[in-house]
Structure 1
């Protein structure tokens, strides 16, 4: 029995547990339904760094803009998780909320923006916290609502509040409270900036006469009204001028009411004060406009006042033909129809109707366009076409607020005519301007030039008669009939139809003078055959054109002569250049054949050297002339010792004279002062003239060079330099073109090598560049005298020569110096290397700028004493290489002298080398003396 009872008890326990499980399942199902149907979103995440989503309900799916829960879960389970659904600007805030919840274990409220699949933004508001699941695991759970609509409503309300606030800020408010028993007045003023100010005035009625707030003329009436309201029940208003708002006296309006106590006695007078100045201004404008319209001026055709709001004519005064049928009380449309009947055509009528359209005028008034005008054309009583101007000024009626249009119509025919004339003739010179009516041949002068006194315009009203008188008076007989036909209206209209304008030219004779005139015709009104004609004097323009053609002809002739001179020059230059080239090639070939005979080889090399110098001189002359023609030549003044100049002249000219057995007489001035001058160009001037004198003086002749010191004023010495020879001289014809480039006077009997024809031109330009003058006297067969005058600045002791020669004579200084030679051409490199090796210089070679850079960096700091840098090289040129060298982080790179070796002959090329950090410039072909001197002067001892 016990066993049975135990079995029964067990069965009962099982039944109870089953019932409990069933109840639990129902509760879980209910919770699941609640979870799925609750309007807020619920999402659970793992409590780790990744925050992976575990579960979410349908509401969360819907809030985020998804329809299917599976799609939502799939997206949020991608890398990044729920963070991907939060707007980027709020993700840091989300991370901060998660960190706080994990750290404190407490719930945290939040508002965040979300990004929906459609790209739209939304707002959510909710709570994030930690919960423990049935299995004991702790997860993050977020419950939130869609807050988007609330945010939008709040934003709209905020905007409305702000809008209301702006409106309120524009207002001034004054309220007052008067106590008759105590005679105390309380004012409260609210200003536009929303600040308040209260005033308490005791013994108000007694003190009001001394008030500075109320304008004096209104004080008595204001006192009377206040006393009446204090005794009797009153509700009234009063306008007066006061300075209540602290700006100026303005019109204000006080609205006031008496307040009684329980016994019926007046205990208070309360009210407010409004600023009505703007209304008063509007009323004044309106009344003034009424007065103006009431006194219509004589130049007005019509004046009307139209009430746009009520669509009725309130007043009209008219002088035009249909004004008598426009009556007060007509509506706007009736007025338009009556006036339009006198207009020119349908286009004008449509334009007029559109201008006075009611909707258009109301819109213009609303938009602030309160003053409008338009032009239109009408037919006058005599059939003439008139231009009229309609002007409309809008004002608001100060009482009933109706929109009132004040309309005036004026005759502007003369104004339009003048304007058309001005537009067509802007900037033109004219004898007269006239109007021609093609319908009746009427001619009317509008304006005449006060300057046209020789041939004043013909007076008259008939165009054909005016043309005939003009032809008879001013034109030769042979041209009269042709001109009359050309200026006939038939011809003019025919040409205007084809061309749009008609221009006729004629030559007029008056008082023995010939003047050229241009008659021009344009349509003013094609439909009604109105023409505008002008006559312009073009005598000056014709003469200028003839002179211009003459100058062009002369320039063309000059260009032909210049081209001929250049052709002759090139013909002779080809011979001059080939001569030394042939000599160099020939003697070089002979030297190679006689290498066994040192004396012959030396003789050939000397001849080649002489020919090469001649060729270099030819090239230098061409380059100098090119620079002069392009204004690219520059002077570089420095201190020039008098003795140095004398020595240079003697060194070069004396041997030339000795070779031809010419006597050279050199007479120097009294003063031996040093001057500031460009030494190279200064020498070039005198060497050119002196070498020419020697060249064109036969053997046994005389060349004389005289220097005269004329005066010294303010540290400026004026010198005269005279070069005289008894050579072959020059013809007068050649002297006229003596200084033209390429000019040479050839003599068939002379075998003198005459050069390029550039030396004299170069020397003259250099003299002028230095501010000097030049005179030449010469006679064929007798000789030439050249006189040069120059003003030179005397050098003071403080002025030192730019080129210091501290080591110029100490060639031994170069012994053992180390130079980096950067040259891409092997022959040039070999020449420079040999010249320097002869003086004991150690040479390291580089074929381009990049190799030079590597070589420099490959040696220890301070190894090289100088760098000789070619400019034009492949891979990296000399300028780029110099920049790179100067930029190296080495002390020697900053101060080592880098010397340019280049054939570039222009000053801007030399300037470019200085700008990148080079210190000197050696011209190619290399002169050994110059090479050694530049190195000695720039290498640190």
Structure 2
């Protein structure tokens, strides 16, 4: 869930990369330690404002396994982890928090956490930033056509319904909400006013689910309403059933107001402004640059794998993935000559990047000594880089990944085959 205070200025002046790095660390830990069907909430609020600055409080709250009082004492200490056994089961924790603490304090802020074992955890930071200026209208997506636009949102989550209502108020269009399919259909059938133009429907709901509700909407409205399905599930898993029922579009959770506005604009035919970001047409084109090379990506977080694939596949690379260090060792050992390079995350469950690299280097085969292994980690201090090199890695890239840095390392360690 995303909860963003509408009083946060449209533009702030801060260190964008480091700001995002801390939030990414909080979210990564929350994902690792929250079981299926759990909840993770990212929230940001403006707790103080003056003409030139504002103080932001950013929090990530999860319903995961929680942290004991004893373990909490070690969390923000450099190069210590809360619990070795938990780390081996779920992947690394602690090191990123120590770095996050260092980053926030260098930016003049404070970092903190609240947790109870078995009852989840909240990690947050408070930081004062300068207020910036810019095209406020563009940021708030005022291109939404508010004339005669009526939106219905159907979701069993009260947080989602509240978020849509707040978004509608900010963007200025009429919005009604319903907690389930039966309530939604009653609003549609017994609606005394103009019909709904756009209907957002959650896929999974108790009772009448989103697929069944879409079928009933089509029976009532025919093609005179736009149905947009929302879900945290992958679109490919529900696409066939959803399109057959009459769904027009799909957007994934978590939801952002910009995503909602863009979807409405596209569906209702409201033209967008041209992008205000200037594209550098002189930037090098690396399409197909590394064609013929195959790399092994060892990374335990699925979204990180997707990001790496999106960045590197256009360059012609064939990318195999391993969910932890143990699987990476197994894949390399099974066919040592298959891979030209390994991208190795540091903190993974079962076997971390250091141990996996040492195991590969110890194998009595020529490829084990020569294959380039590049570490991927948010830990970018000199000691971290030295530790990677000592384990047998050839190089290091920081997280979040910078595409120019990644390309630079690939050019250094891969040869062009075409």
Task: State the TM bucket, normalised to the shorter chain.
Answer: 0.3 to 0.5
What TM-score results when the alignment is normalised by the length of structure 2?
0.35
Q: Which has the higher contact order (CA 8 A, sep 6+)?
A: 2
Radius of gyration: which is bigger?
1
What TM-score results when the alignment is normalised by the length of structure 1?
0.16
